[in-house]
Amino acid sequence: MSSDKKYTSIHYATYLELHKLLDAQHPRSKELGQEAHEETLFIIIHQVYELWFKQMIHEIESVMTMFRTNNVHERNIDEAVLRLERVNEILKLLIQQINVLETMTPIDFLEFRAYLFPASGFQSFQFRCFEVMLGLKLEKRIAYTSHKYYKEFSPEEQLTIEELEKSLSLFDLIQSWLERMPFIHFEGFEFKSKYLHAVENMLKKESDAIMQSEYLNSHEKEMRAKMNGDVSTFFKNIFNEEFHNQQISEGKVRLSYNASIAALMIQLYGTEPLLQLPCRLLNTITEMDELLTNWRYRHAQMVMRMLGRKTGTGGSSGHEYLMETVKKHQIFIDFHNISTLMIPRSDIPELPDVLKKELGFSFSQK
């Protein structure tokens, strides 16, 4: 005997719990004196931010689950890309929301700002979780107070943050996945030596073009050639593993040597059928880091517009602190740096047929 599921009807407002959602805006200016008209906008903007943070965490958690296994299926990579692309679209909305907030003038904001102390965006538990999940751990974070950033949260929330701090981040999981790429060490194809030869050819062509220029004098040619570099400058991280590891120990590089090699190969040979999804994944992660940086920058500029050099309600230096985070809180900067190592498509070393076959889709017809 089969049992059919019974579906009960539900109202739009009940399903979305609109009675809770629309009754969650309580301007303090109204409760403590005369209501400031713009405070409702301020509250709604930040409530919407928190809703989107919840969705982004939901997406990142699912992607991290896919990559916690040692055998990531291609189907999961496709799903991960789609969900990370969704996160990117949300980040674009977060940036656009600042435009709405900036319809409020600095004088409008000052009408109710005094009621906000010591509340601050720094106290967004969800955003801190999101940052840590991506890979912005305590040792990489700029401190704005003398105590740990999560000490303002409840004991339960502090415990959650501490567990996330100890857990593998999305950065860690992607790095581990890259390190397991089987084509890094492929018999019959020594990528590093062929890539070195290709880089040398590219640099020689660029150097020749500089020296043959009719528009530069000898001093300018010498300076341009020096700026152009050689295999011991911009490409040193790839050709010298010891130097790369030294850069990691100094905090200048984060991505491991083997993971960097794999990321470079994926970007160079991203048109090969089996590398198209991995290439999309790396590009999506790089875009996510860029969008998050853009959001930090727009936030900093909005604070400058609203408050100038005033300190933040949470005790930070305000605009100055936020601008520091723009540069220093980039999580996937090493994926951006892969662009430094790219060479023209015409110079990319040809793959051997056996490797092309493994990276492609082929069948034999009997």
The CATH number of residue 47's host domain is: 1.20.58.480
Q: Is residue 25 part of a domain?
A: no
Lowest pLDDT segment from 208-222, 272-286, 303-317, 325-339 = 303-317
What count of other Cβ atoms lies within 10 Å of the Cβ of residue 253?
19
Q: Is residue 338 part of a domain?
A: yes
Q: Is residue 162 part of a domain?
A: yes
pLDDT 10s digits, 7-27: 788 999 999 999 999 999 999
Share of the chain above pLDDT 70, in %: 94
CA distances from 301 to 47, 192, 311 (A): 21, 43, 14
Q: Is residue 274 part of a domain?
A: yes
Arithmetic mean of pLDDT, 239-263:
93
Q: CB of 178 within 8 A of CB of 259?
A: yes
pLDDT 10s digits, 115-160: 988 888 889 999 999 999 999 999 999 877 778 889 989 999 999 9
pTM for the full predicted model: 0.90
Q: Is residue 307 part of a domain?
A: yes
The pLDDT score that the predictor gives to residue 295 is 96
Q: Is residue 197 part of a domain?
A: no
**Residue 50 to residue 341: CA distance in whole angstroms:** 38
The pLDDT score that the predictor gives to residue 184 is 67
pLDDT 10s digits, 86-101: 999 999 999 999 999 9
Lowest pLDDT segment from 83-87, 227-231, 256-260, 335-339 = 227-231
Angle between helices 125-134 and 155-166 (to 10 degrees): 10
Q: CB of 333 within 8 A of CB of 288?
A: no
Residue range of the domain that includes 313: 35-189+234-358
**Residue 323 to residue 162: CA distance in whole angstroms:** 26
Domain count, the chain: 1
Q: Is residue 276 part of a domain?
A: yes
Q: Is residue 19 part of a domain?
A: no
